[in-house]
Amino acid sequence: MRATTLCVALSVAACHGNIGAELVTPPAPRVTPAPSATPTASPTPSPTTPPVDPPKPFEPGPPVVRRVVGAHYVATIGTLLGPEAAALAIAPPDAALNGLDAIGAAQLALDTSAVRAYESSARAVAAAAIAHGALARWAQCRSMDDACYGTFVSRFARALFRRPLEADEITAWVAVAHDARVATMDFDTGLLHLIAGLLQAPSFLYRPELGADDPAHPGWKKLTPHELATRLAFFLTERGPDDALLTAADRGELETPAAIATHVDRLLATPEAQGALASYYDELLQLRDLPTASKNAALFPELDDALRNSMREETQRFIADIVWTENTDFRRIFDANYTFMDTRLATLYGVDRGLGRGFTKVTLPPATKRGGIFGQASFHTLHSHATTTSPTLRGKFVREVLMCQPIRPPPPGVVTVLPVDPPSTPRTTRQRLEDAHFTNEGCRGCHANMDGIGFGLENFDPIGKFRLTENNLPIDARTALDGAAFEGAAELGALIAPMRGTMVCAARGLYRQAVGRVETENEEAAITAIVGGFEASGWRMQKLLAEIVLSDGFRYVKAE
Amino acid sequence: MSSFTLHRRTLLKGVLGGLGFGLALPTFEAMLDGNGTAYAQTRLPIPKRLGIFYWGNGVRLDQWNPAVTGPAWRLSPELAPLEDVKDYVNVVSGYRAKAGYGRRGHHDGTAAIMSGIPFIELPHESASYSSKFGGPSIDQIAADTIGASTTIPSLQLAISKRLIGGEGPTLQYISHRGPDEPLAPEFNPQALFDRLFGSFTPPDATDPTNALRSRALDAVKDDAARLSRKLGVNDRRRLDAHLTGIAQLQREISALPPEITSSCTKPARPTERNVDANGNEPLEAVSHLMSDLLAMAFACDLTRVASFQLTGSVGYTVYDFLGITRGHHDLSHEAGERDNVHRTIHWNMQQFAYLCAKMKATEEGDGNVLDNSVWMATSDVAEGESHSSDDYPIVLAGKAGGFLKYPGVHHRGTNADNTSDVLLTVMRSIGTGVTSVGADQGLSTTPCAAIEA
């Protein structure tokens, strides 16, 4: 949630939920968490916390039918029909559930406005594809007749629907083109309505991941080769499977982890794989909201569209550097001592000028207190108010999104309003929040876990500029995370990076993205195995992606 | 009114490109009877309409609730903009939004006041919090009854784009056909115009494009049927919703142009598309244009049901034109901003007043559209400051064809009263035939009789 709820004046502060553990986390005393082998262990264990249940044997999660999300729709059209067509492809908006569009797309239905959006997009795309000669790769016809339509359908729709078509399906689609050609005496108009129809077909827009009986595992269903190829391709490359993958599926070659791994390695080497991961972090880190983040233009006149885009690109280049260029330990996203800057960001950050055009990798001096994503302006800007910082929002994001520790909402009917400051006695944001949130033990329980993190970042203003004062008062950024003292983004990152739970959380998020669901309790064993492989690689993200695809949780669903 | 599901007028048949299709025409004043109270051809009464006007983050109850109850009530500071339509207004206060009460602020209020059904929480032990509606919002029950015979069974409109997308459909949308079927609103007045009034331009009889579009959609439906056979119950329901959307699109593609009369005229195509300028939303311009188009859509009987989301639940709309720089939800939690919160609510009600005035100024028969409509104005919480669902703000504007008290009253309940009672009265007032609204704690079988005529 973008906006914050401020204070809670009630007792029993149960802030974090954890699978298998009771929802009780006393506010104090807090202890430094020890690295734990149990991914679901509470970060602030207390003597009263009941023991975590022993791990359950793996059982796959339920089957899903997933709508192709907007970015995947556009990318697939680009691959199959060219960039001019993709430029006109506009999908209806996605709606997230549990924080991910991929989960919303596996549950929510399309309404009339979505159907209308798909129809106008399909017609525009079809016209552009024809006008720009994008169809030649699908069919080279001697004569412009129904046989030509048939050749086109059998090839193009195989790629679009991610499976071979039955003969009667081909006949039915050719009839659409035929009727349009007869009505208009124009071959291309036949093609136009044919392509527009195919692009609206549920066989394109939905991804059924239902599986087929597997004699080796009664009660489970194994994704069919084409379903597996589809899940794999969308997860790793944000578009439908390419010809090599479809052909492998046609031949039944995707039966063993080794055979699948060949394609994983091949696809991870493509730019599409980099794009897919970038899209995922654009969503997870909410970077795509930067263009519309509300900020007071009078206070922050420098925050124009270009600077917002620079902030987004900094974080994306930073993650890409760790994952693809260096292929190094993913925990560096928290504690790397460098970032990427253009001249706009260098000015904002007040570091040495003299950068050339575009982005440069810059080592951050300790005095900047920057390092990792907590030192980046995208993070500061997204998790602040329009006029002031929000230690609460910043801490909430760290807990919920990066540590997978949701914060409970304030109960109803309590005062959730910040008191007025008389103009004669201004205070810092920290002072206001400490007064409102920390003087009451009920508020303190949850807010210490959020605000406590945010206080350490108070040197970064609502758009990420460094500051030493607020309201002419000195800023005190000394604070603690779960009992360990820190000050500034670099020190926060250094504390968080070694916490195993953050990497478990990273794996959990990508697993959900891959299967379109929040994992069930019975899939914890699969997550544990995935994290084991991730850890053994020295926390390489590329390895995590491969581990997810090769997991039983990815390849099987429950028989229903 | 359930007999109103028949097409009222001659079903016109068209043949284009060898493909036949037909659809009921919208209403024309020329078709009304001599009394101006019913259609001449069928003697059925002029249709009733339902609108829901909604904004986020509640009101300030001390500025909202009128001091006096009964017929002698006077406008409160936040209701003051309704002066010109005051006789049409019934105010209900002192009711609790009981469905899902106390489970999570904003989520509980939105679902309770739009549907009377407790919202559904998604699993969230280690994932972001999300919720869905527990069942259909009342506008969709109306769409399936009084809206079923119109070209567009219901319209969803929204003005501010500063919505919360991260907590599921409950906070993002106000109209829902079911837990997995939120209805996305139209934000763009120009696109709304094209949808409503595109058919006012008679199609070229020699151009088969529309028939061929529909033909392609038939093939899409066949593909859906093939897929549907493989699916379980829930996913089949999703695909059915998709098929309903396709059928609705085909219906709109083949809609025939209405006859222009003094009541039902084709407005000018707006240039406004609800695009921000310098980071600021064109809120008032869009709100007014949407109101203008909606009044005409009602007058032409293109639709009878609409939801109008001025701002979103937990919305972070910035009222820059009032000199306010904070997002609205943040504003609502700042004690020092109470005056500004009041000014935003006053502005919200100015928009509602404009909408009502537009309905009132649109004549039909011997009265006006507001005579035959009910507009419910409400929010996602009672007061944003505390996320409360007690003493819920509800205003009904319109006579609903004489069903509601006129001149209106201020009825104040005890907090034991259920806001679903008011929803039931709304559903009764427009002739849906509905005898209960909501579920669980939100269930009501007892209408709010105090505002029924």
CA dist., res. B447 & res. B431, Å (int): 13
Burial category of B38 from C-beta neighbours within 10 Å (exposed 0-12, middle 13-18, buried 19 and up): middle
Contact criterion met (CB below 8 Å) for A27 and A10 = no
Please compute Rg for chain A using Cα positions.
26
| Residue in chain A nearest B234 by alpha carbon | A107
| Residue in chain B nearest A62 by alpha carbon | B232
Helix (H) / strand (E) element for A360: namely: strand A360-363
CA dist., res. A415 & res. A539, Å (int): 44
Contact criterion met (CB below 8 Å) for A447 and A438 = yes
Q: Which residues from chain A sit within 8 angstroms of residue B102, using beta carbons?
A: 411-413
Only one residue has tokens 């690295």, namely: A35
Q: Which of B107, B122, B125, B274 is best to mutate for the A interface (most A CBs within 10 A)?
A: B125
CA dist., res. B290 & res. B280, Å (int): 18
Contact criterion met (CB below 8 Å) for A238 and A277 = no
| Residue in chain B nearest A422 by alpha carbon | B336
Q: Which residues from chain A sit within 8 angstroms of residue B183, using beta carbons?
A: 111-113
Amino acid letter, B68: V
| Distance (Å) from the alpha carbon of A136 to chain B's nearest alpha carbon | 22
Write a three-state SS string for A274-302.
HHHHHHHHHHHCCHHHHHHCCCCCCCCCC
CA dist., res. A291 & res. B217, Å (int): 36
Average pLDDT over residues B284-299: 97
Which residues on adjacent β-strands are paired with residue B49?
B373
Q: Which residues from chain A sit within 8 angstroms of residue B278, using beta carbons?
A: 297
| Distance (Å) from the alpha carbon of A354 to chain B's nearest alpha carbon | 30
CA dist., res. A161 & res. B132, Å (int): 30
Amino acid letter, B188: N
| Residue in chain B nearest A175 by alpha carbon | B219
Question: May I ask the CATH architecture of the domain B2-200+263-451?
Answer: 3-Layer(aba) Sandwich (3.40)
pLDDT score at B12:
29
Tokens for B208?
Answer: 């088969």
- Positions in chain A whose pLDDT score sits under 50: 1-49
| CA proximity to A136, closest of A80, A63, A209 | A80
Domains of chain B, by residue range, sit at 2-200+263-451, 203-256
Write a three-state SS string for A221-280.
EECCHHHHHHHHHHHHHCCCCCHHHHHHHHCCCCCCHHHHHHHHHHHHCCHHHHHHHHHH
Query: For residue range B306-358, what is the model confidence (pLDDT) as tens digits?
Result: 999 999 999 999 999 999 988 999 899 888 899 999 999 999 999 999 999 99
Q: Which residues from chain B sit within 8 angstroms of residue A40, using beta carbons?
A: 126
Q: Is the peptide bond before B257 cis (omega within 30 degrees of 0)?
A: no
- Angle of helix B209-228 relative to helix B233-253, nearest 10 degrees, comes to 170
Query: For residue range B173-216, what is the model confidence (pLDDT) as tens digits?
Result: 999 999 999 999 999 999 999 999 887 777 677 889 999 999 99
Only one residue has tokens 């059928």, namely: B247
Tokens for B437?
Answer: 């609204």
**Contact between chains at B216 and A176 (C-beta distance less than 8 A):** yes
pLDDT score at A413:
58
| CA proximity to B156, closest of B297, B347, B284 | B297
Which B residues in the span 246-275 are in contact with A, Cβ-Cβ below 8 Å? 246, 248-249
Write a three-state SS string for A460-506.
ECCCCCECCEECCEECCCCEEECCEEECCHHHHHHHHCCCHHHHHHH
Helix or strand or coil: residue B261?
A: coil
pLDDT score at A19:
34
Helix count and strand count (H, E) for chain B: 11, 13
Query: For residue range B83-140, what is the model confidence (pLDDT) as tens digits?
Result: 999 999 999 999 999 999 989 999 999 999 999 999 999 977 778 889 999 999 999 9
- Sheet with strand B49-55: strands edge to edge: B155-158, B305-309, B49-55, B373-379, B394-397, B89-93, B410-412
Q: In 10 A of CB A53, how many CB atoms? A: 12
Burial category of B332 from C-beta neighbours within 10 Å (exposed 0-12, middle 13-18, buried 19 and up): buried
**pLDDT above 80 (res B402):** yes
| CA proximity to B263, closest of B371, B410, B361 | B361
DSSP per-residue codes, B216-230: HHHHHHHHHHHHHTT
Using alpha carbons only, give the angle A421, A423, A425 rounded to the nearest 5 degrees. Answer: 70
Question: CB within 8 A of A82, min separation 6: which ones?
Answer: A128, A129, A132, A134
Q: Write the CA distances from B309 to A462, B96, B138, B429, integer angstroms.
A: 29, 22, 15, 22
What is the reported pTM?
0.89
**pLDDT above 90 (res B361):** yes
- B177 at the A interface (CB within 8 A)? yes
Q: Could you give phi then psi for residue B367, rounded to 5 degrees?
A: -135, -140
Only one residue has tokens 């209308």, namely: A116
CA atoms in the 13 A half-sphere facing the CB of A250:
13
pLDDT band, very low/low/confident/very high, at B141 (cuts 50, 70, 90): very high
Please compute Rg for chain B using Cα positions.
22
DSSP per-residue codes, B364-396: ETTEEGGGGEEEEEEESSSBTTTT--SS--EEE
The pLDDT > 90 percentage for chain B reads: 75
- Angle of helix A257-268 relative to helix A243-250, nearest 10 degrees, comes to 170
CA dist., res. B266 & res. B429, Å (int): 29
Question: CB within 8 A of A536, min separation 6: which ones?
Answer: none
CA dist., res. A413 & res. A436, Å (int): 16
CA dist., res. A494 & res. A485, Å (int): 11
Pairing of strands A206-209, A64-67: antiparallel
Which residues on adjacent β-strands are paired with residue B90?
B396
pLDDT score at B441:
96
Contact criterion met (CB below 8 Å) for B114 and B265 = no
Q: Which residues from chain A sit within 8 angstroms of residue B229, using beta carbons?
A: none
pLDDT score at B408:
98
Q: Write the CA distances from B64 to A22, A275, B93, B342, integer angstroms.
A: 42, 51, 9, 9
pLDDT score at A412:
59
pLDDT score at A406:
86
**pLDDT above 50 (res B26):** no
Q: Which residues from chain B sit within 8 angstroms of residue A208, using beta carbons?
A: 227, 230-231, 235
Only one residue has tokens 């009394």, namely: B35
pLDDT band, very low/low/confident/very high, at B259 (cuts 50, 70, 90): low
Question: CB within 8 A of A302, min separation 6: which ones?
Answer: A347, A348, A463
Number of inter-chain CB pairs under 8 A, A vs B: 258
Tokens for A397?
Answer: 């994001």
| CA proximity to A294, closest of B130, B186, B311, B110 | B311
Q: Write the CA distances from A92 to A67, A102, A117, A352, B385, integer angstroms.
A: 11, 14, 6, 44, 34
Question: Average pLDDT, whole number, for chain B?
Answer: 89
Amino acid letter, B402: G
| Distance (Å) from the alpha carbon of A262 to chain B's nearest alpha carbon | 31
| CA proximity to B29, closest of B323, B409, B296 | B296
pLDDT score at A52:
60
**pLDDT above 50 (res B3):** no
Tokens for A98?
Answer: 């549990």
Contact criterion met (CB below 8 Å) for B79 and B401 = no
- B34 at the A interface (CB within 8 A)? no
**pLDDT above 70 (res B39):** no
C-alpha dihedral (A51, A53, A55, A60), degrees to nearest 10 = -140
Helix or strand or coil: residue B42?
A: coil
**Contact between chains at B217 and A200 (C-beta distance less than 8 A):** yes
| Distance (Å) from the alpha carbon of B260 to chain A's nearest alpha carbon | 26
Q: What is the ipTM, given to two decimal places? A: 0.89
**Nearest beta carbon to residue B166 from set A99, A294, A411:** A99
Contact criterion met (CB below 8 Å) for A68 and A207 = yes
| CA proximity to A341, closest of A378, A313, A303 | A313
pLDDT score at A381:
97
Q: Which residues from chain B sit within 8 angstroms of residue A447, using beta carbons?
A: none
Q: In 10 A of CB B122, how many CB atoms? A: 18
Q: How far is CA B42 from the centre of its chain?
A: 28
- Angle of helix A225-237 relative to helix A541-550, nearest 10 degrees, comes to 160
Q: Which residues from chain B sit within 8 angstroms of residue A201, using beta carbons?
A: 219-220, 223-224
